[in-house]
Structures are given as C-alpha cells and as structure tokens.
Chain A
Amino acid sequence: MVEHRPWLTFIAHAVLIFGAFILAFPLWVAFVASTQSAVSFNQIPMSLLPGGHFIENYSAVLTRGVASAGAVPVVTMLMNSLIMAMMIAVGKIAISLLSAYAIVYFRFPFRKTIFWLIFITLMLPVEVRILPTYGVVASLGMLNSYAGLSIPLIASATATFLFRQYFLTVPEELLEAARLDGAGPWRFFRDILIPLSRTNIAALFVILFIYGWNQYLWPLLVTTDPNYYTIVMGIQRMVTVADATPQWQLVMATVILALLPPVIVVVGMQRLFIRGLVEIEK
C-alpha cells in the first residue's frame, strides 16, 4: 500500500515513536537505576540521568554477587543460563529434526498415531507436568546438574511440527534424485534436508534459545546448589531477601546483564535469518 498523504505519514510516525518510547523507557529506567548508589536510588523522584556508580555496581554483581541472595557472582549465573539455554535450543532442534524426518520420510506402523501423540503434548506445558517431571528427575539423581536443568525441557512438539510442515514442502523429486545419486537415508538427511532447513533452524534457534534463557520455574525447583543458579531465577532470589531491603541498583544491573545474551542472539541471528529467507528456493 503506497499512499502519499503528509498527515498520514505524520500519524504513522507518531504512533511508531510512541510505541518505541513505551518499549524503551522502562529499559532506560532500569539502566539508569543500575548506575545509582543505594542512596540516590531511593530519592524521589529518581534521576532520569545515569548516575556515577556504573563500574562499581556492575563489577560488584559480576564478581561478588549480592550477599543477601547467596552471593553467587552474576558471571556464574550467566554461564549457567547460557549452558542451559544452549542445551535446550540445540537439543530441541536435534530431536525435532530427527523425529520430523522419521515421521515424514519413513513408513512405519502407527506413524500417524505417533505424530498425533507428539502433537498432543503441545497441550502439556512444563507447568502442568512439573511435579511428575520433578519426581522423575529427582529419582534419576539429576537435581543440581545441567542435565536436570535442560533434558526435561528438550522434547518439543512445536519444533517437530514446524520441521514436519517444512519437510512436507520439499519436493519428492529431490529425495528421488538423491536416491538415484546413491544417497542413503542418512546422507539425504545430512546433505540435502538439513542444509535446506537452515533458515528454519536459525529461526527456531532464536525462539528456543530465548525460551530456554527465560526458564524460571523449572530451574527454581531443581537447583538448590548456588553453583547451578540461573540468571532469571537469580534475580528473583535477589529481590526476595529476608530481613533486608533489596539492593535495587544491583538487581537492576543484573537485569540489564540478563537481557544482553538474548539480544545478542536475536541481533546476530537476524542477519542469517533474513539472508536465509531471501535465499529460499525450491
């Protein structure tokens, strides 16, 4: 739609700027708050310009952590979150690719039934099955481990479904050409199907990484050892301290740090993602 009416352009921009402001302002406030000292933070109204405690606050949370919250350095928590999110994202993609490949390209009994069983699990988010899952993980001795943090979240109906839909659009002749070229099932999967799916893989990686990064309830349940705390649950621990005022300027610094990795993933993958979209060809 191309329209040339100045007032329309003006309104469009006004709406966009307003929207951007609504999104960006809280982030700005969080950043400003993370640069204040404990005293200046509590002044009302708080200054909207960055204070002078940037280095002090950030080095405090990164290296020492917040004493009242178990004093886990944010670096450790960031590492834990990164490991968990990567394991979840990579694991989900690997499992979903394989299961979608099986469902689309192999004829075996109860193929349809199995697909629908997988599909039905979409209706059972982590929160619904959290108690039995906890029981299983606990009995397997996986509490306080990266495996316990990520494996129960790896099975993914959504990703399986998306890959299935994509595989169904790959022309049958490609498989036939590959068979004539002497490619077995594994080679076809590795040489043809995965490279063709790279756009989907990139897009899913972004979504799943953020999903894994933002996990809150599950890490809260399965970790009691501070060495396995993740950043998102760590923030919660900083806020709900007993017998003390939360050190908000440190909490805000942690929040800003927790935001960075997902932003980096989105920005970094976006270029690959768009390039993949432009290259799409069947």
Chain B
Amino acid sequence: MAEIELDGVTKAYPNGVVALQKVDLKVADREFLVVVGPSGCGKSTLLRLIAGLETLSGGHVLIGGRDVTRLEPAQRDIAMVFQNYALYPHMNVYNNMAYGLRNRKTPKPEIDRRVRETACILGLETMLERKPRQLSGGQRQRVAMGRAIVRSPAAFLFDEPLSNLDAKLRVQMRGEIKRLQRRLGTTGVYVTHDQAEAMTMGDQLAVLRDGRIEQKGSPLEIYRRPATAFVGGFIGSPAMNFLDGRIEEGGRKLRVAEMFSIVLPGAGLPEQEGRNLTVGIRPEHFKINGNAASVELPVELVEPLGGQTLIEVLFGKKIVTVSLDGAIAIKSGDRIPLSVDPAQLHLFSLENEVRLDCIAA
C-alpha cells in the first residue's frame, strides 16, 4: 500500500521526441487513478516510467515515499498488467503466477498458498494446469491480473488491459478490476484511451495531451467542468459539440453561431465583451421544447439506440449531435425546436482553449 508521486517527470527520446514534459502527479494511497488521452499523448510512457521500464530524462518518481527513480523494475514493488497480457506461453497458469515469487526466493509452501488464494479470488482454480493458449481472452486477462495480485505489490499498473477484449467482456472486466482493486485496497494507475473506462473506473482521472496533464480530478468533476476545450471534447460520449460564439451586451448575452442568443447565468462574462469564443454543448444537454429560447433546426440523421435517440441536426453549417432520452418519433428532414440550459454551456477562450467561467451575480 503506497502512494505514487511524480515530480517534474520529463521523458525525451534520443530522436528528439518529448513524450512527457515536467509532469507532476500524485496518486494517493488506495486510490485508483485513470490516465486517459488520445494515442501518442505519452500515457503509456508515463506508466512505463513508473514501472521503471524506461529511464527518466528528468524528475523523480516516488513510490511510498521512497525515491525509486534509479531502481530496477523488480525493486520498485509494483506489478503491471500489459495490453497483450504478456503471459509466458510455455508456462501453465500456476507457474505464470508463481514465477515472480520464485525469483524473489519465496518459500515453496508460501508460493503455493498465495497462488491458490489468488486463483480462488479470480475463479481460476480449475485452470491452474492449463497453458495460456488454452484459455479464452477473458481468462488470460484474469491470469495477467493474478500474476500482479499474487505478489501483493505496493501498486498496480495497468496498460490498456481491456483493449484486446470484445465489447461485452470489456464491460464485465471493467467492473471486476474495479471491484478487485477496491477489495485489495492497492493503489492503481490505469492507462486507457477509452473515455468510458476512464469515467467508470477511476477515483481520479488525469487527462493527458501531448505529454502534459491537461486536467486532473474526479470523473464527474471533469465531466461537469472541463478545464479546456480538449478535455470537454475527450470526456463524454457522444462527444461535446463545439460552436462559435460571441459575447454581447456587456457580457450578459452569448450569441451562438450567429443564429440565436442566450442569456448567460449570473453576471456573465463582462471581460469578454465583444470577443469571439468557443461554445461547448454536450449532446445530452439539449432539450426539445418550444419555449422562447429555442431554435428550430433541420434534422439530418436519426440514430435510435432504444434507450436514447441520437439526432444529427444542421446548426448553420455545422453538424451538431443531440442526444435525447427514449425513442422519439422524428425522421430526417423534420425541424425540431431545441434549447439549452445556460448553466450547462461550456465556454472556452479561442486563443488558449481555456475554460471561461461566468461571474456569479
């Protein structure tokens, strides 16, 4: 049980690519941190630096208060689950789990006890004699988990462990990993590019972009108040819609896409008077009703999902996705009146994409 701390961690590759830039990150004891970002943002590098599989170009890594920057992976007391599981193909499940313990000179009866206990937790008791190739994807995933758990390390590291599974299994394993981590109370860092995994699994979420942490917070915090337009667009599904906007009338009103105006909550954004900015609206925050603040828009495409209906409407020249609850009888070509609660608008500066908050009245 330990906290993990990254202090000004920088990683530059010999070819000049900078994967991580002065990243500061703290994972509290027993916390499950999900690092999310698009491919190439440096999230895997971050994990490998914690594991010690790569050397840092600058900064420090601390695990449980101990500076492990210069230590070998084996000395860091961490365990990692790889995307392709990296099970030893020639060893059976038992030996796959026991290998790390044997290398640590754990006494035989102790190894046996721990392996069987872990197998029991993961429901692998009947498969101890099998080779990895005789297991299904989900079972291999469990063995990979088992190999991590059996050593009872200070922290688990997960490198996109679910991306090789089919959609249904992924949802199931998502819950299992989360439950297991809670139960064992081990600190965890989980890397993924899947925002649904990020939202559902993490106690804390760190959104990474181009080697920097764009925002860190609880999943709902990030969903409700994305710090930048990038975070807003990345977290949430279907993705946030972005429209052009302009602040008018002393910051009190927002003109959206030259089509309609919305009265901003509180005192609005007086400092932004007359400026253009980016307006972010989540698909699920549109409402269909005919009040004064609504605009009538033509429907381009309807995607009924049963529980909800996704509608693509033409907003000026832009296609905007709207998500409405339930199955709604609309067909393409119809015009629907849409409105948005001003409190659920996200406003971002045009220059640096940073979130702008309205001043309270």
Contact = CB atoms under 8 A, between A and B. Distances in A.
Contact of A180 (B84, B90, B100): B100
Nearest to A173: B86
Contacts of A173: 82-84, 86
Contact of A182 (B51, B88, B104, B147): B104
A47 to B, nearest CB: 54
B136 interface: no
Contact of B100 (A171, A174, A181, A282): A181
Nearest to A170: B89
B141 to A, nearest CB: 14
Interface in A262-282: 279, 281-282
A177 B97 CA distance: 11
B108 to A, nearest CB: 16
B80 interface: yes
Interface string A155-186: 00000000000000001011011111111000
Contacts of A198: 90
Contacts of A176: 51, 53, 73, 80, 82, 86
A192 interface: yes
A182 B100 contact: yes
A195 B91 CA distance: 9
A176 B72 CA distance: 11
Given A173-B82, A173-B84, A176-B80, A181 B103 contact: yes
Given A173-B82, A173-B84, A192-B88, A180 B104 contact: no
Interface string B209-241: 000000000000000000000000000000000
Given A173-B86, A174-B86, A281-B89, A180 B78 contact: yes
A180 B101 CA distance: 11
Contacts of B88: 174, 177-178, 191-192
Interface residues of B, number: 24
Interface in A233-248: none
A171 B103 contact: no
In this complex, which of A181, A195, A281 has the most chain B Cβ atoms within 10 angstroms of its Cβ? A181
A199 to B, nearest CB: 11
A195 B80 contact: no
* Prevailing SS type, chain A contact patch: helix
Contacts of B84: 171, 173
B99 interface: yes
B80 A187 contact: no
A216 B188 CA distance: 64
A180 B78 CA distance: 8
Contacts of B99: 178, 181, 183, 191
Contacts of B82: 173, 176-177
B74 interface: yes
B202 interface: no
Given A173-B86, A176-B82, A195-B90, A182 B74 contact: yes
A21 B87 CA distance: 49
Given A174-B86, A180-B74, A192-B88, A281 B133 contact: yes
A177 B80 contact: yes
A50 B103 CA distance: 62
B53 A182 contact: no
A256 interface: no
B261 to A, nearest CB: 55
A142 interface: no
B139 to A, nearest CB: 15
Contacts of A174: 86, 88
A279 B72 CA distance: 33
B283 interface: no
Contacts of B74: 179-183
Contacts of B20: none
Nearest to A194: B90
A196 interface: yes
Contacts of B104: 182
Interface in A86-144: none
A16 B87 CA distance: 44
A196 B86 CA distance: 13
A179 B103 contact: no
Contacts of A187: 103
A278 B79 CA distance: 32
Contacts of B72: 179
Contacts of B79: 180
B132 interface: yes
Nearest to B132: A281
Nearest to A172: B86
A48 to B, nearest CB: 51
Nearest to A192: B88
A174 B90 CA distance: 12
A251 B73 CA distance: 64
Interface of A: 171, 173-174, 176-183, 187, 191-192, 195-196, 198, 279, 281-282
Given A177-B82, A179-B74, A281-B89, 18 more contacts: A176-B80, A176-B82, A176-B86, A177-B87, A178-B88, A179-B53, A179-B73, A180-B51, A180-B74, A180-B78, A180-B80, A180-B100, A181-B99, A181-B103, A192-B90, A198-B90, A281-B131, A282-B89
The 3 closest A-B pairs by CB, nearest first: A173-B86, A181-B100, A182-B74
